[in-house]
Structure 1
Amino acid sequence: MAQLRMLLLTAVLAGLIWFAADQLDSSEFTVEAEIRPVVPASAPLAVRIEEPAGGLVKLEIRGRNAALNSLRGEMAGNRLPIRWMAEETLSPGEHQLDVLHLVAGDKLLLPFSVLSAKPARLRAVVDRYVTQDVPIQVNPGLFRLAGEARIEPAAATVRMLESHWRNLGDRSLELAIEKLLQGQPEGRLLTFEVPLPAQLAGQPASIQPKSAHVSVTLSERNVRRTLAPVVIKFAMSVDMSARFGLELRDAGAGTTDIQVIGPAERVATLEPQDILGVIEVNSEDAAATDKFLLRTPHFLLPEGVRLGGEPEPVEFRLIPVAP
C-alpha cells in the first residue's frame, strides 16, 4: 500500500512539474489576422465581409514560446492570413458569425489556444450566382439599319450575382457597333465578329460565348437628341400600393434627362411627355423595407426610337403604410 501511495504521489508531482514547465515555456501573444472567405469551387456562392473592414481582427493566442517565435518570424510584421472555408449551405443574405468559430480550424493556429477575438463577431453578406440566357441586340449608334440585324448566336449565357440580376432593368446584351459602321457603304450587307462585353447593364458577369457574328445593312444616319425632364413612374400591384409608400433617396430622382436616337423627322417632334420611365416593384422588395434599393428604369419609347445611353439608376425604398 505504501508503495502504491508513493507511485501516486510521484505521478502527481510529475504532472505538476510538467504543468509548471509548460506554463513557463508558454506565452500569450496578440496577432492581427485577416479573415479571407474561401468558397468551394462547386458552390454557386459569393461571400463578402462587411464588418470589420477587410476582415481584420485581433486574436489573443497562447502557445509555446518556440511556436510563437516561429509564427512571429513567418509573419514578419504582416497580418496573419486566416482562410475561412465558407459553407455551401449558407443562405443568401446577411449573417452575424462568431470569429472564434471561424478561425478554429485554421492550420496556422492549430499549435495555439485562441483565447479571444476583437471584434468577437463578423458581419458577412452571402450572395449566389445565377445563370441565365439573355438576348443579344446591336446598338448602331447614329447609323440606321435597313431591316433587322442578324446575330449568331441570338442569345448569350450570363453568370452573375443574383442580387445584380434582380436589379437589372434591361436584361439584354447590347453590342455597340457604331465604330464598326463608320466609313462603310450603304445598301450592302456587312458582317462583323463582335466581342461580347464582360458585363451586363454595368454589372460584372461571366458571359459565353466570347463573340457573336453580326450581319447588317446600312441605311441613312440617325440623329441624337436630349429630352428633359422625363417622368419616372413606379409600377406595383394594387395590393402593394395599399401596403407601401415610396421614398426616394434623391427627391429629384422622379424625373431624369435621357438621350434618344432615331430618324430625324421622328426625333424632332418628340417631347418629354411622350416618353415614360418605369421601375417595377415586386413582392420580393417588400422584405427590404429597411434599406434603399437600386433599380434602373425602363423607358417606353416610340417605334424606331431608342435610348442613346445607359439611364441612371434610382435609389428608393418602400415605406409600410399603417393599417
Structure 2
Amino acid sequence: MPAPKSWLEELTLSKLHRLATALGTPCSGTKLARIEAIRNATSNSVQNGDSRGTVSDLSLLSIDMGIRNLAFAHLTAPAEEVTRPLKHIRYGRPTLRAWRRIAVAESLDVTTSSHRDSALEMSTSAAIELVAAAKESFEPIDYARHAYNLVKSILQTYQPNHILIERQRFRSGGQSAVQEWTLRVGVFEGMLYSVLRTLIEEHKLQLSIEPMQPPRVNRYWLEGSKDLLGSKEKKMVGREVKKAKVDLVGNLLREGSSVICVGKEVQPTALDFISRVSQASKRGRADTTNISKLDDLADSLLQGLAWIQWQNNRRRIEAQGRDAVDMASGTLS
C-alpha cells in the first residue's frame, strides 16, 4: 500500500503538474487521481528493488518503435547509495553503449553499431529501397519472425535488465482516421511484448518491460529542462517538437554534459549526430531531411534518460518526503 504522503494534498494543480512532470506520472485527471499516481510511482520505485530497497546496476534498452526506422539506445548506469540528507539508492551518470536505427526487415546484426553505415546512414529513403528490394511483407507470419530475431539479438548482445518500449497511439494530431502504417507498427509492438514475455517466463529472465508514453517524455524534456534548450515560452507542435528534441540531444552529447557519458564504441555515431545537427541549424527550417534522420535516434535516447531521471526523483521523494519538494513551486528542491 502506497505511503500516504498527505503533504501532496497541499499542492495546487499547477504545482502537481510540475511534480508529475519530474516523476513521469500523469498530468491529467482529477487532483486526487494525480496524487494517487505520484504515491504509487514513488512507492513502486522502492519496491522494484529487493526487500531492503537495493537496486542493481542498470542495463537499459530504450526502443523507439518503428518498422523501417526502429531506433534503440543501450544505457548502463551504476547503482549508488546516497547518504545525505537521507539514505536512498539512485542511478549514477549513465553511459551510452549502443545507439542504432534499423529497418527490422533487414538482416539484423546489432553488434555493428561502431560502423558509420549502421546508424545514421540508414536514411528513410535508403531503408525504403532496402525493404522494397527484399519484397517487404507485412504479413503477421513475417512480423513474428522479425520480432523474434530482434528480441533474441538484443538480449544476447546487450543483456538488459530493463527494456522500455515506446507506446504507440492509433491517432495523433487530432486526426479522426487511423493510418494503416500506424496499425502495422502497433501489431509489431504487440509482438515484441509477446516474444519478451515468452522468453522471460521460459528462461526465468530477470528483466522488466515498461511501456513509455511519448507525451510524458516530451513534457519532461521540453517543459522541465528549458536550461538545456533555452527559454521557450511558446508551445511547440509537430516539427518544432522534433527539432527541439534533436537540438537537445546534440547539446547533451557535446563534451562536458553532466547528464550522460558517451561510450567509446558510440563516439563516431555521436560525433556524426552532432555534425548533422549543426548542418541542419545552419540551413534553417528548410532542412527537414537531416532532422528526420536524427529524430528516431533522439527519441530513443531521451526516452531512456528520462526514465533514469524519473526513477531517481521517485526514490528521492520516497526517502525524503516533502523535504525533496519546493512546496512553493512544486519543483524538486
Q: TM-score, normalised by structure 1?
A: 0.21
Higher relative helix content = 2
The structure with more radius of gyration: 1
Give the number of the structure with larger relative contact order, counting CA–CA contacts within 8 Å between residues 6 or more apart.
2
Alignment TM-score, normalising by the size of structure 2: 0.20
Which is richer in strand?
Answer: 1
